[in-house]
Amino acid sequence: MDLLPLFLTSAKLLGVSILAYIGYLVYILIILPYQKRKFYSKYNNVCMNPDFKPPMYDMSVLESLHDQNKYKWGIYLEYADKGKDIHITQFGYKTIFDLMSADAFDDFDKQIPEKIDKYTDLQELSFGKTFFGAVMHQPTNKSWHKRKTAFTKGIGLNFSSRYISLMLEHSKICMDKWNVGDKIDFIPEINNLTLGVIASILMGKDFNEKMKPINYTHLDGREEVIDFYTIFPRLGKDLMAAMQIPYNLLFPTLIRNNILHVNKVNYKNILAFRQALKDFLKASTDEESCYKQILKDNPDYDSEELFNDLQGFLFDGYETLSDTFCTTLYFLNKAPEAHKKIQEELKKLGFEQNEKLIESITYERLNELEYLMMVIKESLRIDPPLARSMHFYAKEKLSICGVPLEKDAIISMCFIARHYDPKQWHNPYKYIPERFDPESEYYFIPGEEKKAREARSYVPFSYAVRKCPAVTFAYLELKAVLTYYLSRFEYEVDQDLLDNESIRYGVLSHFPLNITIKKKYC
């Protein structure tokens, strides 16, 4: 049998397929983004990067800022004062419509969930693979609302206030070893502290005692048994690094279906991590953990769904809180007058700088710390943990501020643009806690006498119906741990960090926080 004709036919088909695939890549990576740029450039309320750099586009800008030792998400700050409603961000083939203005936020709010809803595809990528199916990634429907309500109640004020002693216990263990003259690499320290607090509250206060080491596989095939506090941030970095690989960024299906070695290894580590947490939940005897309390109060709450919901909060919450701790300590060192006011408030309200400190930190007394709350809010304004929201999508054709969006268009709320709007904030690049003092001139918008800021000008925990369900929990832990730290220590941040005006500590920040302990009171 002569196989040559069959071979030639197959070769032709293969060649045509390759050419078709190359043509498809050219279309989605170059032609389509160019057409979108051309179309949206005619709208005066839309802005975008003036440079057209396929195939990575704005991802290249982020990496360039990183290489210049600048804040990655500074990409949005230059547009915060331009009066634009929408910024178009291009990552590979993906076009994202970032909402910048209060009017855009209002239009968004009016159309969710009927015309806009959560972009659930992300739950299969990056961190989402670890807590697949978590409530934060679910569409806005009755099931989502029911789960969110039960989850919010479980971690809300009624439960979280009783965990102050656990927050302080972890703080004491972490900080007892710090002494005068020590130079602390603060980020890993505070990461472990916040991670320990949240894990113990959510899953059981016997977490450190009964959580078993986890088997971790390296990309070169080596296997290592490591503890929870080591694998947790490492797994997050591995997943984020995989997302930045060009072929994964351009073809997310590779991550979604665990294709190629790096994605297979990451998924193997995810499964080992999840199984270790499930084994702990079976072994834990803490009947007051959020996990067991929520199941007790909500018998129809599926245990697997709750497991994913708690993991989602664990991943999002720990870094959100640790980032805000870092931001606060950094900017208090840059704004010594604010630091002085906090110290005066702590002393005035009787927070003891001795062995009675923990006893003096109660829920009622924390609520008396008005200036500390202003400081926390200003830290969340100047450096929100997330510069922009997770993605949403258009369920049908719609418009925002007169700008048409096609069905399936990806939408994000740009929090940092709202926080630096010069029409809402006096000198937005300066750290001024008095912005949140109703008696201060900074409380009102610039140029207007006694006119309050728009509600959409401050959105560190997202906005509208999809607002973070753990706001109360976050504020409580921030107040408790900051009160404990600021009562015990005086410190200095390295001068080279203070001199860098670009530093921020939100998610994906590459900046360190090196502090030196100058005084230790107890």
Q: Tens digit of pLDDT per residue, the chain (522 long)?
A: 566 777 777 778 888 888 888 888 889 889 999 999 999 999 999 999 888 888 878 878 888 888 888 888 888 888 888 889 999 999 888 899 999 999 999 999 999 999 999 987 655 666 667 777 788 888 899 988 998 888 888 877 555 677 899 999 999 999 999 999 999 999 999 999 999 999 999 999 999 999 999 999 999 999 999 999 999 989 988 988 888 787 887 788 888 889 999 999 999 999 999 999 999 999 999 998 989 999 999 999 999 999 999 888 888 888 889 999 999 999 999 999 999 999 999 999 988 788 889 999 999 999 999 999 999 999 999 999 999 998 999 999 999 999 999 999 999 999 999 999 999 999 999 999 999 999 999 999 998 778 889 989 999 998 778 888 788 889 999 999 999 999 999 999 999 999 999 999 998 889 999 999 999 998
Picking from 147, 196, 200, 199, the residue whose alpha carbon sits closest to that of residue 469 is 147
In terms of residues, how long is the chain? 522
Picking from 383, 379, 229, 374, the residue whose alpha carbon sits closest to that of residue 314 is 229
For 13, other C-beta atoms within 10 Å of its C-beta total: 10
Cβ atoms 414, 408 nearer than 8 A: no
Q: How far apart are CA 331 and CA 431, in angstroms?
A: 7
